[in-house]
Homo-oligomer: A and B are copies of this chain.
């Protein structure tokens, strides 16, 4: 029996509310040997108080030693095994710019490149064309028609864009057209499998039409396509857990990831305070609330230790407003660690806290990487966090008699 079958078998509906507050890249490292981490440096009276009431642990996003991107990081938190459910590059890229993929879509990431008269690549990134210049080229491409499918072209940044083909019988099994070299022509789109034959033909027709349209562009007169992918077939929160789930996020990537799990996007909040306003507003309409806080990750990526500390304190300060709504289960976690010292995502376990009346005390009185190691959940796979959320929300029946 798979874990998802078990969830479906045991899930029950009731009126409990679950809040999952994801501080992106929450875990950190001391900058120097013997020093303190960002969480240890920050003043977090609310998190510490909640740690004394709840149960803590260290969640492992994928596997020990594996650093996840935002996609696998969030899939794990949402209860999907990030090794079993993959979001293809094209689908993630489309999701990241807020393009809502449908069930008949195949998305690919496009890079503009510069071709010579013979059609050979002279610059793989079209001279790192500026975004505003590139956006105009994307606008031109939106005129491309391919018979039998709808085509959507959307800008990303600089030389990068997304193309989505929508139609019956499409499949993500098409090879990248990037030869990964200059002096050669882009490859023709080739199907890996029989199911992708039509998609490869569609992509070929798109590239050919684009080539004609862009022939006078000084930099972006060609393109390569990578990471063809359909929308991943994630069971929805409603179907899997019986939860009406709301996502309150600021950035398109996280809105997109939540949508892939069937969550409804709520509001247009731009700050954490506005996100909590939104939470209060939609409180009666949903059972599960995913709140995403980006800045613990972006400050970590910048290597800005004191700024990450401040962002943690900002997060801590908002907690009483969330507690005032009396969630039955309140979770604070991250999708991965982003230590300022490393200026990047990392594989280190993520400090995680769950607060509910059914928590068994684990003796902790502080929320930090070091304390969470001794927490009552131990060191556990992130994909099991939703099992604990459902249990503490008393939304699981008994397994077997």
Contact = CB atoms under 8 A, between A and B. Distances in A.
Interface of A: 1, 3, 6, 10, 27, 29-30, 33-34, 37, 53, 58, 62-72, 82-84, 86-87, 89, 92-93, 96, 341-342, 344-349, 358, 360-363, 369-370, 373-380, 384, 387-392, 396-401
Nearest to A348: B360
A64 B401 contact: no
B92 A400 contact: yes
A387 B65 contact: yes
Contacts of A387: 63-66
Contact of A89 (B89, B93, B392, B401): B401
Contact of A401 (B34, B69, B363): B69
Q: Which of A63, A346, A387 has the most CB of B within 10 A?
A: A63
Nearest to A33: B53
A328 B149 CA distance: 53
Contacts of A84: 1
Contacts of A342: 358
B373 A373 contact: no
Contacts of A373: 362-363, 374-376, 378
Contact of A388 (B64, B96, B341): B64
Given A34-B361, A69-B401, A347-B396, 15 more contacts: A1-B84, A6-B66, A6-B83, A30-B361, A64-B377, A64-B384, A64-B387, A67-B396, A67-B398, A68-B399, A71-B400, A341-B358, A348-B360, A373-B374, A377-B379
9 contacts: A6-B63, A65-B391, A66-B391, A82-B399, A96-B401, A344-B398, A347-B388, A347-B391, A373-B375
Given A358-B342, A376-B373, A67 B399 contact: yes
A367 to B, nearest CB: 15
Q: Which 4 A-B pairs have the closest CB atoms?
A: A65-B387, A65-B391, A378-B379, A69-B400
B53 A360 contact: no
Contacts of A346: 358, 391
Contacts of A64: 377, 380, 384, 387-388, 391
Given A360-B37, A384-B65, A400 B86 contact: yes
Contacts of A68: 398-400
Given A65-B387, A373-B374, A72 B399 contact: yes
Contact of A384 (B63, B375, B388): B63
A60 to B, nearest CB: 9
A79 to B, nearest CB: 10
Nearest to A386: B65
A9 to B, nearest CB: 10
A391 B29 contact: no
A66 B379 contact: no
A394 to B, nearest CB: 9
A34 B52 CA distance: 9
A333 to B, nearest CB: 14
Nearest to A389: B65
Contacts of A71: 400-401
A190 to B, nearest CB: 21
